Amino acid sequence: MDLDYIVREPENITSKTPILFKLHGYGSNEQDLFSFRESLPADWILVSFRAPKETQFEGYSWFDIDFNNPDQYINIDQAKDASDIVLQNIMAISNKYGLTENKTHLCGFSQGGILCYSLALKNPDLFNYVACLSSYPEEKLLTDIVKDKKRLENLRFFVSHGTDDAIIPFEWGKKAADLLYDLSCYFTFREYMSGHGVNQKNYIDLMDFFSK
């Protein structure tokens, strides 16, 4: 399946041009995280995907969510399919631009962040900077992740969560710190006095992460 997406291209593209793929949250669309583009490096390719499933109010989702069932919060089969589709699209777009010596980054909010954990930890050789915002690592999606420290050493995670998040509890988000620590991954975990969103301080810290 070819995903719809919007893109910002730099003036010059070579085999070494960095590319950042963005995955929005439930009920949103490809315009959401694309709004970050003005603060991101001008020489990067920015790609913001639209999830394939339609939701209410002209939004989209990567997989279904059952807010009333914490034990079956997300549809795992759909999430696995979404992860596979995203990976296929990432590879196709990278090949289209002839990116063979570049760094490939991920940024996901909420649902999108859940997929970013899966994509990065299952395919650590493909990715570098990974930002997971207001999200959490879903154990049922991470049963076959890479645990070889040598293969994981090029990954850099930025994890952020609001202490007052009413959609994905802060305690769920904190699980990422334990997981990434156990895997000996490089990561930064930041908490903010906010809800399910990205406040100004969070945004500044995120841009600082991607600028390094």
CATH assignment of the domain containing 161: 3.40.50.1820
What range does the domain containing 120 cover?
5-211
207/88 Cα distance (integer angstroms)? 27
The pLDDT of 11-37, averaged and rounded, is 96
CA-wise closest residue to 91 among 47, 138, 36, 134: 47
Residues 73 and 129: their CA atoms lie apart, in Å, by: 27
Measured CA to CA in angstroms, residue 24 lies from 46, 133, 175, 181 at distances of 13, 10, 21, 26
67 pLDDT exceeds 80?
A: no
Please state the domain count of the chain. Answer: 1
Query: The dihedral of CA 28, 54, 116, 70: what is its sign?
Result: positive
**Nearest-angstrom CA–CA distance, 64 and 74:** 6
190, 177 Cβ separation under 8 angstroms: no
Tokens coding 184: 């000996």
Q: What is the pLDDT of residues 137-164, one digit of tens each?
A: 999 999 999 999 999 999 999 999 999 9
pLDDT of residue 101: 96
Quick one: what percent of the chain has pLDDT higher than 90?
94
CA distance 5 to 118: 20
Bridging pattern class, strands 60-61 and 53-54: antiparallel
Task: For residue range 162-197, list pLDDT tens digits in order.
Answer: 999 999 999 999 999 999 999 999 999 999 999 999
- pLDDT over 90 (residue 135): yes
What pTM was estimated for this model as a whole? 0.96
Pull the structure tokens for residue 172. 């769920």
Instruction: Please compute the mean of the pLDDT values over residues 38-43 and round it to a whole number.
Output: 96
